[in-house]
Amino acid sequence: MRTVHRLGVALGLTFSLMLPASAQQAQDRVIRFGHLNNADHPVSFGVKRFAELLAAKSGGRMKVQEFPASQLGNEMQQQSALQGGVQQMSAPATTSLAGIVKEFGLVDFPFAVSTFEQADALLDGPLGQALIAKLPEKGLVALGYWDLGFRNVTNSKRPIAKAEDLDGLKIRVIPNPVFLDTFKAFKANPVPMPFAELYGALEAKAVDGQENPYAVILSNKFFEVQKFLSATNHVYAANIVLVSKKFWDGLTPAEQQMMKDAANEARSYQRQVSRAAAQKAVGELQAKGLQFNEVAAAEQARMRKIASPVIERFAASYDPAMVKLYNDELARIRK
């Protein structure tokens, strides 16, 4: 009898120890994933692919609900919601993080990279990972970088073929010190403004122009309120896939790994879709009536030189080790 009793106790104890883990594993997770872009934008396609992959990996237990087009607020509002644990994920431009980790400004330095291959090598390599490592103490976890594209200037006044053409233009920029000072170096009048307010400001002529990647310009129909599109390619822009640390810390190691794997797999797809869309968008924007012009390579080099004091000034205020890593990585990828 005692043997049977002991066996029963042992089995009961084993079951009780197993139950919390199995119950936790079986728990359904609903992930609110917000972003600023419309549902026809490559960032949205990346979210959808991530959602499909995560659902497959988790047996349908981890469900992603997408909230595009600033439904959950602007970048700063969504960042606060992630830090507070109210929202689970977002995919803002890296520029929005410079307010909490100023070294993210390194990614915004003008004319740093000239090809997608260079951009990927910079962000997927040691520099990008060192920046990601600074986020958990700010309440955020990052799962990698997605493509947003090279930023280009549109305006309602004139084509931008040289630095002097920006003189006096009111250009909306991301509320980011590097962007503000870069356009001031070209004697433009930069106006920081949340993205959600931009179309209305262009329509009302409160600003003359703005700067964004081609797919963003097309998706948000800026061709309705702008006349000129100039391929300045002044900054390579990336989105960063963010997770609320409060939410992340509540996941099991297995769930965290599923999210990492899904994000890595979605990254290649998103970049491919985004770059194909950018190439296609130029022709579509021209068909919609925007006058398009290239900026000569020699003029881009000259613009880079004009902006170099901005780079030097900001670099002096950043962590010297991060600046050295940035410069070393640029030297490596430019070879």
Average pLDDT rounded to a whole number, residues 237-244: 97
Q: How confident is the model at residue 175, as a pLDDT?
A: 81
Distance CA 79, CA 268 (A): 24
- Domain of residue 132, residue span: 29-333
How far, in Å, are 46, 96, 161, 330 from residue 229 at the CA level? Answer: 26, 24, 10, 28
Tokens standing for residue 245: 């640390």
Among 1-15, 225-239, 309-323, name the one with the lowest average pLDDT: 1-15
pLDDT in tens, 150-165: 999 999 999 999 999 9
Q: How confident is the model at residue 16, as a pLDDT?
A: 39
Flag whether 9 is in a domain. Answer: no
Flag whether 24 is in a domain. Answer: no
Residue 228 contacts residue 158 (beta carbons within 8 Å): yes
**What rounded mean pLDDT belongs to the chain?**
92
Average pLDDT rounded to a whole number, residues 9-27: 44
**CATH number of the domain that residue 281 is part of:** 3.40.190.170
User: At residue 295, does pLDDT exceed 60?
Assistant: yes
Flag whether 2 is in a domain. Answer: no
How far, in Å, are 56, 98, 138, 325 from residue 176 at the CA level? Answer: 38, 7, 18, 22
Flag whether 104 is in a domain. Answer: yes
Flag whether 21 is in a domain. Answer: no
Name which of 103, 93, 118 is nearest 41 in CA terms: 93
Confidence of residue 196 (pLDDT cuts 50, 70, 90): confident
The residues with which 140 forms a beta bridge, in sequence order, are: 244
Flag whether 175 is in a domain. Answer: yes
Distance CA 304, CA 310 (A): 10
How far, in Å, are 136, 147, 216 from residue 284 at the CA level? Answer: 41, 20, 12
pLDDT in tens, 207-228: 999 999 998 999 899 999 999 9
Confidence of residue 177 (pLDDT cuts 50, 70, 90): confident
Burial class (CB in 10 A: 0-12, 13-18, 19+), 162: middle
Confidence of residue 244 (pLDDT cuts 50, 70, 90): very high
pTM of the model: 0.86
Q: How confident is the model at residue 121, as a pLDDT?
A: 98
User: At residue 278, does pLDDT exceed 90?
Assistant: yes
Flag whether 291 is in a domain. Answer: yes
Q: How confident is the model at residue 287, as a pLDDT?
A: 98
Average pLDDT rounded to a whole number, residues 81-103: 95
Distance CA 66, CA 56 (A): 17
Q: How confident is the model at residue 35, as a pLDDT?
A: 97
For residue 160, is it left (φ>0), alpha (ψ between -120 and 50) or beta? beta
Flag whether 12 is in a domain. Answer: no
Domain count of the fold of the chain: 1
Element (H, E) at 27: none
